[in-house]
């Protein structure tokens, strides 16, 4: 996976491409050097062969066989070839006993391939003025040696370039890849609703930084707009509370001081109840805003979940009894402490128990459980009431949403939004599950980290 990512990075591919171009350039250069050197050496050998043949024939026909024999004898390195043949092609003297049939008798030196001769040797065949045929050759060990050297150098340098290039490409692409990882982690946090996160920008101001800068500017603007929207909501909630309170006080006075009867009284009572409902909603909305704005760490302290749960159960016991619901505690004693805001945690669990008691019919059972999971403690509130269908479990966490099945119960659909805000602020995970029958709401009380 990691390797595939490495391979796909621009620095890796660019470096690899440069490496290939470089290797081709090196090969071309070496080829050119070989070609030039080989040509030069061949010309030198040709000159030797031509002058040798000329020297031999210069002394005339007399003693030519002896001169040829002597030339063979003096060639201690065995790099020269001589052959003297009669006009009919019969061997007279020298270390070459048959005339190579491919060579024309024109005195021009050429490369020759024949057994008994070194590969690549160069030779000429010429006819002497008196009719005999003289063969003079010179081997080309230097040339074949040069070719071996060049081919070896090519293979070696090619391999070396390839290895070095791959290493360089890996090193060069690791760094940007690591930075992309950082960016990914930061963006994941942003996606989880952490409005304050920004992508890291390094001091190098390279193209990744430019992109991160643009993304950060966008995030700044998004955060600003979001706060604006939120503050409009909060302000509305705040500003309407005073006139609503005044309205409620008036209605209350009418209710207390007048002697209304029958339908009139009922209407006043209903108006009072509805005003109360509105006030509750505004209070809850303001509460969510408060939690979202709260400085995360300011009220954090080590919290014993056991005591919080016990407190919640104690407080809800009378209500449970009223509703004919059994409230059961299943609390492990060895749960570790968590770093949290105890007041908010209490509020969150209270909301969950509140829901469970509200939606579970008479005779039902609500269990408040504290268990220890691999990652840390888990608080679970389970009931055997109507539950929430799977396709509504996300929605009920949103403000004002109330599941279709249970809309007849009183409520404003803000309780779970408060729990969600509290969980998010702690980086805890809130999950809803089917309790078959009923609903089970779990709060995993360990910060999952931002990428989890």
Chain residues binding Mg ion by CB under 5 A are: 355, 415
Decide if residue 128 touches ligand ATP (CB under 6 A): no
Give the DSSP per-residue string, 297-325: TTT-EEE-HHHHHHHHHHHHHHHHHHHT-
Angstrom distance (rounded) from CA 324 to CA 385: 13
Residue 316 binds ligand ATP (CB under 6 A): no
DSSP 181-223: HHHHHHHHHHHTT-TT------TT--HHHHHHHHHHHHHHHHH
- 359 near ligand ATP, judged by CB under 6 A: yes
| Phi, psi of 379, deg, nearest 5 | -100, 130
**Stretch touching ligand ATP by CB under 6 A, among 60-68, 196-204, 303-311, 402-410:** 402-410
Q: How far is CA 51 from CA 108, 136, 319, in A?
A: 12, 10, 124
289 binding partner (options Mg ion, ligand ATP, none; Cβ < 5 to 8 Å by kind): none
| Closest C-alpha to 418, from 342, 347, 355 | 347
Among 9, 15, 95, 355, binds ligand ATP (CB under 6 A): 355
Nearest distance from residue 433's CB to Mg ion, in Å?
17
Q: Which does 83 bind (CB under 5 to 8 A by kind): Mg ion, ligand ATP, none?
A: none
- Of residues 162 through 181, those in contact with ligand ATP by CB under 6 A are none
413 contact, one of ligand ATP, Mg ion, none, CB 5-8 Å limit per kind: ligand ATP
**Phi (first) and psi of residue 99, to 5 degrees:** -80, 130
Among candidate residues 313, 442, 318, the one with its CA nearest the CA of residue 376:
442
Query: CB 15 → Mg ion: shortest distance, Å?
Result: 59
| Interface with ligand ATP (CB under 6 A), residue from 110, 122, 179, 402 | 402
Name the residue nearer to ligand ATP (CB basis): 441 or 445. Answer: 441
For ligand ATP, the closer CB: 187 or 406: 406
Question: Can you tell me which of 16, 386, 429, 447 binds ligand ATP, judged by CB under 6 A?
Answer: 386
Pairwise CA distance, residues 225 & 227, whole Å: 5
From 70-78, 91-99, 295-303, 382-390, give the range in contact with ligand ATP by CB under 6 A: 382-390
Beta-bridge partner residues of 340: 301
CA 340 to chain centre: 33
Contact 357, 366 (CB under 8 A): yes
For residue 176, the partner it binds in ligand ATP, Mg ion, none, with Cβ less than 5 to 8 A by kind, is none
364 binds ligand ATP (CB under 6 A): no
Residue 396 sits in the site that holds ligand ATP (CB under 6 A): yes
Q: What is the Cα–Cα distance from 131 to 87, expressed in whole angstroms?
A: 6
* Pick 283 or 373: Cβ nearer ligand ATP: 283
CB closer to ligand ATP out of 209 and 433? 433
Q: Does 412 bind ligand ATP (CB under 6 A)?
A: yes
Rounded to a whole number of angstroms, the minimum distance from the CB of residue 381 to ligand ATP is: 8
Identified binder of ligand ATP from the candidate list 45, 143, 388, 442, rule CB under 6 A: 388
How many residues make contact with ligand ATP (CB under 6 A)?
Answer: 21
Contact 86, 92 (CB under 8 A): yes
DSSP characters over 42-74:
HHHHHHHHHHHHHHHHHT-STTHHHHHHHHHHH
When asked if residue 38 is in the footprint of ligand ATP (CB under 6 A), the reply is: no
The residues that touch ligand ATP, with contacts defined as CB under 6 A, are 284, 355-356, 359, 383, 385-388, 396, 402-403, 406, 411-417, 439
């Amino acid at each position: 996976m990691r390797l595939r990512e490495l391979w796909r990075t621009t620095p890796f591919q660019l470096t690899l491409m440069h490496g290939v171009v470089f290797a081709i350039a090196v090969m071309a250069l070496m080829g050119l050097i070989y070609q030039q050197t080989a040509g030069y050496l061949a010309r030198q050998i040709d000159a030797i062969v031509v002058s040798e043949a000329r020297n031999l024939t210069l002394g005339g026909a007399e003693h030519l066989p002896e001169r040829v024999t002597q030339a063979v004898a003096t060639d201690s390195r065995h790099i020269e070839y001589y052959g003297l043949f009669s006009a009919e092609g019969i061997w007279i003297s020298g270390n070459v006993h048959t005339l190579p049939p491919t060579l024309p008798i024109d005195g021009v030196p050429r490369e020759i391939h024949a057994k008994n001769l070194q590969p690549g040797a160069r030779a000429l065949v010429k006819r002497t003025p008196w009719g005999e045929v003289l063969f003079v050759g010179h081997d080309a060990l230097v040339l074949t040696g040069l070719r071996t050297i060049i081919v070896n150098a090519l293979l070696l340098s090619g391999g070396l370039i390839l290895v070095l290039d791959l290493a360089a490409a890996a090193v060069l692409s690791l760094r940007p890849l690591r930075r992309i990882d950082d960016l990914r982690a930061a963006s994941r946090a942003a996606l989880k609703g952490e409005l304050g996160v920004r992508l890291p920008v390094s001091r190098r101001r390279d193209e990744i930084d430019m992109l991160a800068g643009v993304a950060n500017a966008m995030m700044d603007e998004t955060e600003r707009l979001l706060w604006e929207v939120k503050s409009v909501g909060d302000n509305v909630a705040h500003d309407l509370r005073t006139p609503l309170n005044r309205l409620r006080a008036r209605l209350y006075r009418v209710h207390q001081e007048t002697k209304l009867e029958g339908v009139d009284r009922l209407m006043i009572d209903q108006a009072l109840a509805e005003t109360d409902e509105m006030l509750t909603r505004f209070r809850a909305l303001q509460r969510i805003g408060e939690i979202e704005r709260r400085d995360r760490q300011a009220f954090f302290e080590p919290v014993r979940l056991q005591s919080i749960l016990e407190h919640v159960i104690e407080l809800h016991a009378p209500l449970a009894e009223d509703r004919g619901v059994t409230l059961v505690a299943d609390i492990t004693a060895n749960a570790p402490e968590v770093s949290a805001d105890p007041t908010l945690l209490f509020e969150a669990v209270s909301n969950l128990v509140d829901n469970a008691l509200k939606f579970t019919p008479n005779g039902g059972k609500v269990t408040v459980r504290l268990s220890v999971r691999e990652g840390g403690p888990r608080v679970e509130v389970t009931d055997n009431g109507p539950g929430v269908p799977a396709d509504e479990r996300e929605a009920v966490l949103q403000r004002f949403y109330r599941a279709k099945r249970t809309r007849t119960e009183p409520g404003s659909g803000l309780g779970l939004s408060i729990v969600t805000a509290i969980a998010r602020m702690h980086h805890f995970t809130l999950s809803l599950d089917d309790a078959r029958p009923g609903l089970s709401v779990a709060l995993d009380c360990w910060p999952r980290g931002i990428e989890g």
